[in-house]
Every structure is written in C-alpha cells, then in structure tokens.
Structure 1
Amino acid sequence: MSALSRRRFLGLTGGAMGALATGGCVTAAPAEPVTDGSVGLRFWTHDPSYTATFQAALGDRDIMRGSPYAPSLEVTAAAGTDLLTRTITQFMADGAPPDLLGIIISEFPRVMKGGLAESLFLDLTEIAEPFGDDLLRRSPYTVDGRLYGLDSDTSISVLYYRPDEFARAGLPADAATWEDMLDIGGRLNEATGKSVGMVSNGDNTSLYNTYLQVLVQRGGSPFDADGALTIDTDESVAALDLIQRGVANGAFLVVGDPYGAAAAAAIKSGLLVALTMPSWYRVYGLEANAPEQAGQWRLRTLPRFEDGGHIAANLGGTGFTVSAVNPGREAALDLLRRVYLTPEGQLLRFQTGGFLPTLRSLYTAPDFTSFRDEFLGGQESFLEYARAADDLPEFFLSANNEALVVAMGAPLLGLYAGDLTPAQVIRAATDSYRRQVRP
C-alpha cells in the first residue's frame, strides 16, 4: 500500500472499514508481478458490455499479437455505486483488490484525496503520454497531474431530434444557437405541448447533471485543475439562464428522472421531439424505450451559445483502472493498453459495446466514418461526432464533488420555479458548499 498507512487510509475513506484497522500503521507492499504466461485477472464492472468487450479482445489475434501474457478474466458484476466501496473493503481485508476495475465517473472523486488513487491504482500517465491531445477525457481521472483511469467512451452530448415532428410543425431543426432553439421550442410547446429538451427535478444527482451538461458546453467547469470551486463565472450564469428560460417557455420538459418512466413515456408519446444527451443515451434511452421509433430520430451537434462555448458537451463515463499491488498488474496494464490505446481495440469497443473512440484522430478513420446507424435512419453519425470531438470541452472534478452535488439541489429547484435568479443560485450553492467543505 505504498506510503499510506492502513489507519490513515481508513480515515480518508470515512472509516467505513474501521473494524479492519487492527494493524495500526502496517503497510502492504505490492506483490511481485507476473512477467509472462497465463494469468487470471479479477475484472469488476457494472456493465456487461465491458465484459463482452474485454472477453472479445482476448480472442482477437490482432489486438493480442505480441503480448507476453495469456490472460483470463474472473468477472464480478455489481452496481456502479458499490464497486469502489467493495474494492476498498477488499484491499483492506487481504490486500487484493480487482486487477481491472471500471469506476463510474461520479464515484472517482472519492479517491482524489490523501494519496488514495496512488495507493490503489497504477499511474497511467506514461502509457497515455505519447498520444498527447489526441487522447480525450483525461482530466476527470487525473489527480495531482497524474492519470489513474482511462475512460471507456467520450460520452459526447449531442442533440437527438425528430425531423418529422419539426417538419410537421413547420419549424426548422437546424437552429445554430440555443437562443434560436429556445424560441423554436417555445413556439412548438405553445402550439402542440411538445418540447425540445428535458431537465430533471428528481434527486440531487439528476438536478446537478442537468446543470453540469449545460455548464460544460458553455465552456465552464465546476472545479479547476487544482480542485478549487469555479461555479461563480459568466459561463455558469449563462448555463443557468438557458435552463431557466427553457423551463419557463416550455421548450424544456421537466422530468423526475431522465432514465425513468416519465422520460420514457415522453419519448414514446412524442412529447419530446428533441433532447440533449450523451452518445450512450441513443441505446439506453431512445432505442430501449421506443424501439418502434427506429428511423425517426437523427443526431446533430449542439446549438451554440451566442456568447461562446462549444458545439458539444460531456456527461457520464466509466474509467478503467489497474490495481497497483496485485501480481497480475502488468498483465492487466498490457490488456488495458491494447483495448483502450490501439486503433484495433477502439474499433472493437465500438463494435461490441457502442463505445465512441477516445482517440480524436479515429473520428475520421474509414472504419468509423463508414458506419451507418440504422436506428437513426441510416445516418452516418460520425460526420457529426467528428465535429463534436474537435470541439470537445474539458472539465475537472474534485475530491469535494459530492458536496457540490448536494449544494446545487435546492437552488436548482428554485431556478426551475422562477423563485431564484442564476446569480442567486450560484450564491446559495456556494454558501452551502463552503459550509460543507472547510479549508
């Protein structure tokens, strides 16, 4: 366990495993790594698509060519919110966490303090460095300038829309700016009761994600690279103003859960004729809930803000990490590199699980540009994804991420109701955050 004592480790993780802290300041040295041959790897994930992808990679000669290892996977599936807790518990119990662990992005801030990431996971900075800016989505998994996770998907947020519904209403679907789209959405809602977007008024996480997606597109970030809070900005005001105006004129439909029954019903019934969501929502939100609408949806890059920002955003993600202490760590690192940092591996990930490339240069590669999405009416979707990837915003997380999620909840409800201005939301959330996070 590198230089971090077990007692200190337990303190940093909230004491959840206090009963295991009988060893005082005993530390666990990493086991000698396996250098070649057969090796069993413990693989923990919340999504069967990741299991299918890695299993397929093990049988792919192009991907595994030249590897000194012959890995096999011992798979454990659990809820994404449980995996990191179980990993820490396992580490403390016997010093043997999973060799490969997929951490959903909202859980990663838990290891962004006190050397936890360094103690649990291998530093991936060196294997990522040769790719420079071509490798996307590094910032959320970076701690003190070092990279500890490789994201499985760029999770590019785009505008999904129903061109038939826009045409039926005599309205354009190609609005260049959000200001124009809000006007179009307001007119559509007044005439038909339909909306061109959705926001959540459910739990704190759903409320916060509504704000985060818009903030990132506008060019803001909830934190800076050092973990300092950065929501008191012009970008944040613009994001909140867009949300408030969209709710007020009906352009945005308010739902409790963007992944729940209300959103599904709005999609199936045609109340939602457009929505801003990440690439993975195409499968898990649209096709899963309204398969009969195959061929009726398209995607495009997001309308711009008149005052700046990007034509894309991000939301969600899963970063894969490698244990820093297990004997199979070098084999796990070799496999992760082959699946996540080679063109062959990235193509396999897309073909097996629908995961978008995290190497920017692949968005114009023929293997991807030739893809036609049948659910989207045969659209060559990478023509739009490539434009988005070239303008993908960067944002940062913090060890205090959960405090901000809680702090934003009630003020955002006040914003939806028209009781608070964007400036008041920022002030209330900042005050709440400061009360939770003491210097």
Structure 2
Amino acid sequence: MSGLSRRSMLRGAAGAGLGLLAAPALTACGSASADAVTEGPVRLSLWTHDPGYIKTFQRAVGDRSLMRGSRFDYRMRFTNAAGSDVVTRMIAQAVADGNTPDLAGVIIDQFPRVMGSSIAENLFVDLSETVRPYGNTLLKLAPYSVGSTPYGLDSDNSVSVLYYRQDVFAEHGVPEDTETWQELARHGKRLYDRHRISLGMVSTGDNGSIVNGFLQFLLQRGGEVFDVDGNLTLDSAEAVETLDFMARGVQSGFLMSLPDPYGGSCAAALKSGRLAATVMPNWYKVYGLEANVPEQKGKWRIRTLPRFAKGGHLASTLGGTAFCVLKDKPHTEAALELLRRVYLTREGQLLRYRSGGFLPTLSTLYEDAELRAITDDYLGGQRVFDVYGEAVADLPTFYQAQGMQILTDALGGTILRALQGRTSAAAALNDGIEAYRQQFKR
C-alpha cells in the first residue's frame, strides 16, 4: 500500500472515533520519502515507556558478539513517554505524515488500539516470515497479532508464579507443595482467622488492575476472554468459577483486597507480614518485592501455581511489552535486523535477561544450561529456571481483540461488586458482558 493511501486509511480510522489525540511531535530520524538504507551507519529512533528497554538496546548495539556480521553500524535515539502516549503520538504522527519511530514498544493493554481499521497493518511490519522458522518455540505472539498476523515480539514471557514467604509457611504449617487452590484457600482462611495473614490479593482500585487480577486467575483456570478470531468467549463456566473463587477468598480473608499490587497499602501489607503470598509474574520480584521489602531478601520463594480442582494450567501470565517495527521507513530493514538479533537469538535473549530480568520468549532456552544454573539471592539462592521451565511448558495463551479496553471498562465495576459481596459472580459477569456488547459493535 502506498504512503498516501496508508495515511488516508489512518485518517479515516481517526475520523471513525478511535480516540486519536492531537499531540506534540516526538523527535525521530528520517522520513518516509527517503531511500531505504541497506547497510552502513544508521541512527534508529526507539520510543518506549520503560528505561529498562533503553538500557537493554543500548547494551545490545554495543555488544560486539551480538552485532558481529551485521551490515549496519547502529546508533540509537531514544524517546521515553507514557505507554499510552507512545501509541497516541505514533498514530497521530503517521496521520500527519510526521516523524514516527523506527521501533516502538507497545504495552500489551495498548495494542488493542491498533487492532481495528487496519491500523496495525498500515503502521507495522508483518512479522510472519520473521518468526516462521521458530514455529511453536516462540511464545507470546498471540496478544500482538491481528488474526493470524503477528506485528510485535514480546520482551518478556511474564510468567505468573506463586511468590510465598517460606518462613511464614514453615511457622504456620502451610505445605509449600499444596496441590490445589482449594487446599491453599483452606490454609489461608485458617491463617487469617488466627493471625490476620493472607496468602494472596485482589485489586480493587482502577478498572485495569481489577480486571487484570481476574484475568490472571481466569487464564490459569483455562478460560479465555476472546478467541483467536476476536469473538468474546467470557460467558463461560470457567469465568464464573474463577470470579466466585476470588470473591469467596476475599470474604474468608484468604485473599486481601488492595487498591493495586504496587502502592503504599500493598507495601505496608508486605512489610507487616500480613501478605505472605501472592500470584504475580516474574517481573514482580523487582517491581513489587525488592522495591518495597528489600529487607525480606532470602525469605521469599517461587513455585508453580496450585491447580484449580476442575482443571487448567500450572501457570498464568500478566503484562508484557512488544516491540514493533514501523514499515516503509528508510531504516525499516535495519530496525528489523536489530529486533531479530536482540529478540530471536540465544545471545540476544540472554542479554535481555541479564540486562533487565526479561524471561526468554524462546521455549528452548528454558533448558539452556547457563540459564538453568542461575540462582537468585533474593529468593534464597533458588534456581528459578527450574520453576519457570515447568511453568512455561503449561502456559496459557492470551488472545486480545479490538474491544479489549472497552471490555476492561465494562467489567471493572461489576467484578468489584462481586468481590465486595454485593452481587453474584454470574450476575457480575452478565452485567459486564451486556455493557460491553452495548458499547462495542463488531
């Protein structure tokens, strides 16, 4: 598709009410009219919300072994902005034929904004041929795909495991190898009744936090939000069971209600020892535990999640950020090669783990001897890839659709009412689904 017709398509999408906001221009290199660069010095523009990705790409382009044999000599120009602003400004610049980045980090909950009206197709490089050689060994393509076409590579597997205080479990007779959530819930009720200690949490703040907490449990239970074709599949027995489990957990004290998993109230619960376990992804160790309770180093461990009695998976997933290559730009070929080297090679995935703790998205690396030998001091010297390897072998797939953000807003309040015991799980989900269908027409 020509640049002119692509801009026309994007303008049409903006006119259709996609919520594109006028925004100040962000600096990037090159213009769409320049000739494509196929070798030599390049200065790539990268937009991201997280300084951790800036650090990773800086290290990558300076790593001689990783860059060996490249036709390009990379220099980077970084722009750090809020995750929603990255997408808003990128589309606004494309509509205005302005400066767009060469590489863009798109947070998982922002990707639905480009899934409709052929926006992803017109903005990003189709990665189908890039990922084809990896087959099923490359994980987490689904959340950044439109139909069967992938447009982004995730930076982290975001594997949800159970973090738990080993000392608290030992003191109060909670088995570390409890098989099911139902068993752990019974121990949690006992601990709460006797000591006001909870073994998990639910979010009760903003809609995003509320729904994400529900989805993390739902995916593990084997439920889905959308199918691969974008059809809503939330009206299911698994969804009702999951929300009912969470609501009963809050009522018994097994699960603690907190505004969010990162704020002051959660930090206070961790520091006091009242929150002694929680389900969260691998990145929570840095952003939730080490950030809030560094003094508890050595007391925490991880394990695969207890199973639901009626089935599901050993793990779940929450969060992520994919990098997408902007198409038909002078540096598109160079950006795609850099993404391949950093995201689709053993060396690049090891560099990303060492740089920011990003778990590999190539499943074969969970058997890599170098990774399997890694121990984590904060987790008491535990060999964490023993746990992550088992979890990745049974990781659920998360499909998104264009209406995901609308669904989140529709469900937030209804799920909260169920968690507070003001309505049943079935009624809450029915109300949320009905509100979504009234607002979003495919």
TM-score using structure 2 length: 0.95
Residues 1:65 and 2:68 aligned together: yes
Aligned pairs, number = 432
User: Identity of paired residues, percent?
Assistant: 50
Residues 1:436 and 2:439 aligned together: yes
Decide whether the 8 Å contact of 1:278 with 1:315 is kept in 2.
yes
- Structure 1 gaps, min length 5: 21-27
- Deviation (angstroms), 1:96: 2.8
- Deviation (angstroms), 1:316: 0.3
Q: Return the match for 2:266 from 263, 275, 294.
A: 263
In the alignment, the residues of structure 2 paired with residue 205 and residue 40 of structure 1 have an alpha-carbon distance, to the nearest angstrom, of 36
- Structure 2 gaps, min length 5: 25-30
Counterparts of 1:343-358 in structure 2, within 5 Å, are 343-358=346-361
Tell me the residue number matched to 2:339.
Answer: 336
Which secondary structure state, in structure 1, belongs to the residue aligned with residue 96 of structure 2?
A: helix
- Residues 232-281 of structure 1, C-alpha deviation per residue, up to 9 Å, x if partnerless? 11221221121112111110000011111111111111111000001000
The runs of at least 4 aligned residues of structure 1 exceeding 4 Å deviation read 17-20, 28-31
In the alignment, the residues of structure 2 paired with residue 227 and residue 62 of structure 1 have an alpha-carbon distance, to the nearest angstrom, of 41
Residues 1:8 and 2:12 aligned together: yes
Which secondary structure state, in structure 2, belongs to the residue aligned with residue 158 of structure 1?
A: strand
Counterparts of 1:38-187 in structure 2, within 5 Å, are 38-187=41-190
Decide whether the 8 Å contact of 2:207 with 2:408 is kept in 1.
yes
- Deviation (angstroms), 1:88: 1.3
Decide whether the 8 Å contact of 1:303 with 1:311 is kept in 2.
yes
What letter corresponds to residue 322 of structure 2 in structure 1? G
In the alignment, the residues of structure 1 paired with residue 311 and residue 20 of structure 2 have an alpha-carbon distance, to the nearest angstrom, of 44
Which secondary structure state, in structure 2, belongs to the residue aligned with residue 399 of structure 1?
A: coil
Residues 1:316 and 2:311 aligned together: no
Decide whether the 8 Å contact of 1:197 with 1:276 is kept in 2.
yes
What letter corresponds to residue 301 of structure 1 in structure 2? T
The alpha-carbon distance between structure 1 residues 244 and 325, as it changes in their structure 2 partners (threshold 3 A), is same
In the alignment, the residues of structure 2 paired with residue 377 and residue 415 of structure 1 have an alpha-carbon distance, to the nearest angstrom, of 37
- Deviation (angstroms), 1:311: 0.7
Counterparts of 1:17-28 in structure 2, within 5 Å, are none
Tell me the residue number matched to 2:242.
Answer: 239
What letter corresponds to residue 216 of structure 1 in structure 2? L
Q: Say what the alpha-carbon RMSD is for the aligned residues.
A: 1.6
The alpha-carbon distance between structure 1 residues 371 and 19, as it changes in their structure 2 partners (threshold 3 A), is closer
The alpha-carbon distance between structure 1 residues 31 and 235, as it changes in their structure 2 partners (threshold 3 A), is farther
What letter corresponds to residue 283 of structure 1 in structure 2? V
The alpha-carbon distance between structure 1 residues 300 and 99, as it changes in their structure 2 partners (threshold 3 A), is same
- Deviation (angstroms), 1:19: 11
Decide whether the 8 Å contact of 2:21 with 2:92 is kept in 1.
yes
Residues 1:365 and 2:373 aligned together: no
- Residues 180-232 of structure 1, C-alpha deviation per residue, up to 9 Å, x if partnerless? 01111111111100100000110111111111101111111111111111111
In the alignment, the residues of structure 1 paired with residue 304 and residue 156 of structure 2 have an alpha-carbon distance, to the nearest angstrom, of 17
- Deviation (angstroms), 1:29: 6.6
User: Is 391-400 or 53-62 further displaced after alignment?
Assistant: 53-62
In the alignment, the residues of structure 2 paired with residue 203 and residue 404 of structure 1 have an alpha-carbon distance, to the nearest angstrom, of 14
In the alignment, the residues of structure 2 paired with residue 413 and residue 290 of structure 1 have an alpha-carbon distance, to the nearest angstrom, of 28
- Deviation (angstroms), 1:7: 3.0
The alpha-carbon distance between structure 1 residues 379 and 187, as it changes in their structure 2 partners (threshold 3 A), is same
- Residues 78-117 of structure 1, C-alpha deviation per residue, up to 9 Å, x if partnerless? 1112111111122233343100110110000000001100
User: Is 408-417 or 318-327 further displaced after alignment?
Assistant: 408-417
- Residues 28-56 of structure 1, C-alpha deviation per residue, up to 9 Å, x if partnerless? 97653210000110011111111111111
Counterparts of 1:384-395 in structure 2, within 5 Å, are 384-395=387-398
